[in-house]
Amino acid sequence: MDEERALYIVRAGEAGAIERVLRDYSDKKLCEGIFKVLVKDVPTTCQVSCLEVLRILSRDKKILVPVTTKENMQILLRLAKLNESDDSLEKVSEFPVIVESLKCLCNIVFNSQMAQQLSLELNLAAKLCNLLKKCKDRKFINDIKCFDLRLLFLLSLLHTDIRSQLRYELQGLPLLTQILESAFSIKWTDEYESAIDHNGPPLSPQETDCAIEALKALFNVTVDSWKVHKESDSHQFRVMAAVLRHCLLIVGPTEDKTEELHSNAVNLLSNVPVSCLDVLICPLTHEETAQEATTLDELPSEKTAAKETVLKNNTMVYNGMNMEAIHVLLNFMEKRIDKGSSYREGLTPVLSLLTECSRAHRNIRKFLKDQVLPPLRDVTNRPEVGSTVRNKLVRLMTHVDLGVKQIAAEFLFVLCKERVDSLLKYTGYGNAAGLLAARGLLAGGRGDNWYSEDEDTDTEEYKNAKPNINLITGHLEEPMPNPIDEMTEEQKEYEAMKLVNMLDKLSREELLKPMGLKPDGTITPLEEALNQYSVIEETSSDTD
């Protein structure tokens, strides 16, 4: 707002408008004055104070419009050490100025479209990557790394062009992965395996914040990573997946921070090509194998038969493979279900990840099947009643959110190797009807994907109860007396015609539409389904 406009409003005399215009005008003048001070050679404490005030003012979009210029942006870039390509970060006294400058840039870029355009013109992404390289292995400047990463995340979020630049030109994928390695202090024991200290201290708050910002930036950089063709890309994604596996097995300073850290790791794993997710599990070492054999000897025979055990160091093992990371993902999923809200944002990413892992990797699917859908023994309760993971997932199959119920049903379907009969055994026909209708499998059969042919084994308890299980509800029901046994033939005919008339009335009033199955298993109006079957029969007769 210029001075003449401000004076005009003041002379008009409206109290509210006068207060508002004077506040905006004074804030704008204050911003301009701060930039004039920052150009000068003033003490560090003065620079920090000016930047703190500017950071607060930069939250207001109206104030930013007149002061967001190329010259002012360059002032902040200089103070943030983003202009000196060969200048090392040696003066500790300058660190507060760098951090405050980065904070101001975060606010300004987020709130100003002009600043976003200037960021492209000034090649800010490349400058941020250069600053990261200077401090990636130096833990005592975590605040600088954290806000550098946050600004990089904002730029890649607001500009798709910057995502491509980061991915290919600036080699953002290996750079940000190395930042994560540094934050987690990873020590590699093999190409894609890291040493895990289960008794080690949690991450510090600063390391956790840096890791979270790096994970968010990596998510933007890899958002279209399913288009992987080169072997070098495959290797880099496997390294990143191995780092994320390490991330899942460590904890932050608080439970909330741990959940936030793992949540961002799950989101990023969803971008990793599914063929590269095999590094989430790994064979046991010789020492762990010997320990597993000792532990198996101590377990009851029925537990040994399940090929699953917990070692003395809390390592989850299945079929000779370390399943710790998958077990963490499963527990994370259950916690998100128990929250009971924000399923689409909080639950669907981890459910989708586990579904794709199960579809592509046999050992992961078999482990999850063992954990989620163990052999049925007690079938007296409905599948959706209870507190097991299976009960919770079956309840989600009838959730009001279409996306949530679809992914929950798909996960269970994949665990059942996309076999309809196996799915119905664990869920009942009523809960599975939506998925089966969408997939054209109401008449039975199996999905399109291929799975190993190993057979499921039913328990003796299930075999004995199976003849009395209600296929619709999926649980054991005591035989009910047949109400028509006591009727005469005339009464049966009367009740049948009464039912026919009621259905006919509902159909004519279009309150109910009779449906039938087409030969391909999908639902269609009954008349159309009958016509298709008639055509098939006529064709068959002509052939004969």
pLDDT of 336-382, one tens digit each? 999 988 899 999 999 999 999 999 999 999 999 999 999 998 888 99
Q: Which residues, at least 6 apart from 375, have a Cβ–Cβ distance to it below 8 Å?
A: 456, 457, 458, 459, 462
pLDDT mean across residues, the chain: 84
Residue 140: which of 63, 67, 206 has the closest Cα?
A: 206
How many C-beta neighbours within 10 Å does residue 447 have?
20
Helix (H, G, I), strand (E, B) or coil at 318: strand
> Among 143-147, 151-155, 524-528, which is the least confidently predicted range?
524-528
What is the structure's pLDDT at 87?
A: 65
> Among 88-92, 254-258, 490-494, which is the least confidently predicted range?
88-92
Instruction: Work out the average pLDDT over 372-395.
Output: 93
- CA 134 from chain center: how many Å? 31
Q: What's 58's DSSP letter? A: T
Question: Where are the alpha helices (H) located in 58-167, listed in sequence order?
Answer: 61-67, 70-79, 95-111, 113-121, 124-135, 142-158, 160-164
What is the structure's pLDDT at 289?
A: 59
Cα(241)–Cα(73) distance, integer angstroms: 37
Q: Is pLDDT above 50 for 303?
A: no
Of 2 and 213, which is predicted with more confidence?
213
CA-CA distances (angstroms) from residue 162 to 66, 118, 124, 169, 534?
A: 25, 13, 10, 10, 59
Res. 5 pLDDT band, cuts 50 70 90 = low
Asked whether 261 and 204 are in contact (CB, 8 A), the reply is no
**How many H helices and E strands in the chain?**
27, 10
What is the structure's pLDDT at 349?
A: 96
Q: Is pLDDT above 80 for 305?
A: no
Res. 3 pLDDT band, cuts 50 70 90 = very low
Of 229 and 321, which is predicted with more confidence?
321
Q: What does the DSSP assignment read for 205-221?
A: HHHHHHHHHHHHHHHHH
Instruction: Work out the average pLDDT over 82-102.
Output: 82
pLDDT of 149-178, one tens digit each? 999 999 999 998 899 999 989 999 999 999
Of 252 and 28, which is predicted with more confidence?
252
What is the structure's pLDDT at 312?
A: 43
Res. 18 pLDDT band, cuts 50 70 90 = very low
Cα(30)–Cα(27) distance, integer angstroms: 5
What is the structure's pLDDT at 379?
A: 87
Q: Is pLDDT above 80 for 457?
A: no
pLDDT of 277-300, one tens digit each? 999 998 876 565 555 544 444 544
Asked whether 251 and 203 are in contact (CB, 8 A), the reply is yes
pLDDT of 404-426, one tens digit each? 999 999 999 999 999 999 999 99
